[in-house]
Amino acid sequence: MNQSDFLKVVLPFKDKVFRLAKRLLVSTEEAEDATQELFFKLWRSKEKIADYKNVEAFAMTMTKNYCYDRLKSKQASNLTLVHSNYKEKETSLDKKIEHQDSVNQVHQLIESLPEQQKIIIQLRDVEQYDFDEICKMVDMKPTAVRVALSRARKTIREALIKKHNYGVS
């Protein structure tokens, strides 16, 4: 596989790899490093990846595993929470702040989920993968993935309702 063919295969999902790494590692810099490392590994094994039916699922699984390894490493204590993913045109400042606060609350709630639920909600609700792809990536049965996703969503929904009803978290 030459460089041009390799790029045609991997470039369509590079942003998804980064977003998954960012969700797991939180730090933008760590996510950038993870993404770069992943694509370097894919490049080194470019002859093998041509045989895979779903290179994207393989890359997402590699990303997940690499991020888990990073989190277990001694550098995990250096990760920080910095996230801003909300943009809207022509909204008043107070509305923008309110929306940003809501987005941040959801991201913090996702971060507080168990690892399995965190990765499943990222893959399904953020990256928009279908259940079959998620099952392959996380090596789980479809029922288990659906249950984990449902529990994650319920946990987030209940925490948001509690916050909105009582003004406390």
CB under 8 Å, gap of 24 or more: what pairs does 81-90 form? 81/26, 81/108, 81/111, 82/26, 82/27, 82/28, 83/22, 83/26, 83/107
Q: Which helix (H) or strand (E) holds 31?
A: helix 28-44
What pLDDT, on the 0 to 100 scale, is given for residue 80?
41
Q: Which domains does the chain have, with CATH numbers?
A: 1-78 (1.10.1740.10), 92-169 (1.10.10.10)
CB 110 within 8 A of CB 156: yes
What pLDDT, on the 0 to 100 scale, is given for residue 114?
93
Mean pLDDT of the chain: 80
Those residues with Cβ within 8 angstroms of residue 45's Cβ, 6 or more apart along the chain or in another chain: none
Residue 122 confidence (pLDDT) above 60: yes
pLDDT band at 111 (very low <50, low <70, confident <90, very high): confident
What pLDDT, on the 0 to 100 scale, is given for residue 142?
92
pLDDT band at 91 (very low <50, low <70, confident <90, very high): low
- At 51-82, the pLDDT tens digits run 777 888 888 888 888 888 877 764 445 444 33
Give the pLDDT mean for 114-138: 89
The two structure tokens encoding residue 169: 């978290």
Q: Rounded to a whole number, what is the distance in angstroms from the first to the last CA of the chain?
A: 52
Residue 88 confidence (pLDDT) above 70: no
CB 113 within 8 A of CB 153: no
CB 96 within 8 A of CB 88: yes
What pLDDT, on the 0 to 100 scale, is given for residue 155?
93
| Max Cα–Cα distance, the chain, nearest Å | 59
What pLDDT, on the 0 to 100 scale, is given for residue 90?
52
Half-sphere exposure in the Cβ direction for 120 (13 Å, CA): 25
Residue in 20, 117, 119, 34 with CA at minimum distance from that of residue 73: 34
Range list of H helices, 73-141: 93-112, 115-121, 131-138
What pLDDT, on the 0 to 100 scale, is given for residue 85?
43
Question: d(Cα 41, Cα 109) in Å, to the nearest integer?
Answer: 32
- At 1-44, the pLDDT tens digits run 778 877 888 888 889 999 998 888 878 888 898 899 888 888 88
The two structure tokens encoding residue 93: 């400042």
Structure letter (DSSP) for residue 17: H
